[in-house]
């Protein structure tokens, strides 16, 4: 699986959009970009994933650059409850020997302040 690079920490004001970047310059053509977050003392929570096209769901939007070497997770209206560690993960969307293993890096600590 391709390696990802994320900023260690970011701040965001409540009600504003939070834009979390991720660099995955070695991503291959059949690897997807996944985003998870982990709120203190809880299990990781799936947010969104995509391959090439931008994706949006009820939680967030995912913007993937045309060359797929980087992406941005957007929380459109951040709340205090969005304070968490956000993980960008790149993986093959297939079974095989990995059987769907997720490789978590250090992530970005997002702090939403009033």
Partner 1 sequence: DAGITQSPRHKVTETGTPVTLRCHQTENHRYMYWYRQDPGHGLRLIHYSYGVKDTDKGEVSDGYSVSRSKTEDFLLTLESATSSQTSVYFCAITRQPNQPQHFGDGTRLSIL
34 lies in the site for partner 1, by CB under 8 A: yes
42 lies in the site for partner 1, by CB under 8 A: yes
Shortest spacing between CB 34 and partner 1, in angstroms: 7
Binding residue for partner 1 (CB under 8 A) from 25, 28, 79, 106? 106
Distance CA 15, CA 2 (A): 33
Q: Establish how many alpha carbons lie within 13 A of residue 73's alpha carbon, considering only the half-sphere containing its beta carbon.
A: 31
Q: What is the DSSP letter of 5?
A: B
Q: Token digits for 39? A: 């709120």
Q: Which stretch binds partner 1 (CB under 8 A): 3-11, 17-25, 63-71, 100-108?
A: 100-108
Q: Establish how many alpha carbons lie within 13 A of residue 81's alpha carbon, considering only the half-sphere containing its beta carbon.
A: 3
13 lies in the site for partner 1, by CB under 8 A: no
Give residues in contact with partner 1 (CB under 8 A): 34, 41-46, 49, 87, 93-95, 98-107
């Amino acid at each position: 699986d391709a390696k990802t690079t994320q900023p260690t920490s970011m701040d965001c004001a409540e009600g504003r959009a939070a834009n979390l970047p991720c660099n995955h310059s070695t991503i291959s053509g059949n690897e997807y970009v996944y985003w998870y977050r982990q709120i203190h003392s809880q299990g990781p929570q799936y947010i969104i994933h995509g391959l090439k096209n931008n994706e949006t769901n009820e939680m967030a939007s995912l913007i993937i650059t045309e060359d797929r070497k980087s992406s941005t997770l957007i929380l459109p209206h951040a709340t205090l409850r969005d304070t968490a560690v956000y993980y960008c993960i790149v993986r093959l969307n297939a079974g095989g020997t990995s059987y769907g293993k997720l490789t978590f890096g250090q992530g970005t600590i997002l702090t939403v302040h009033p």
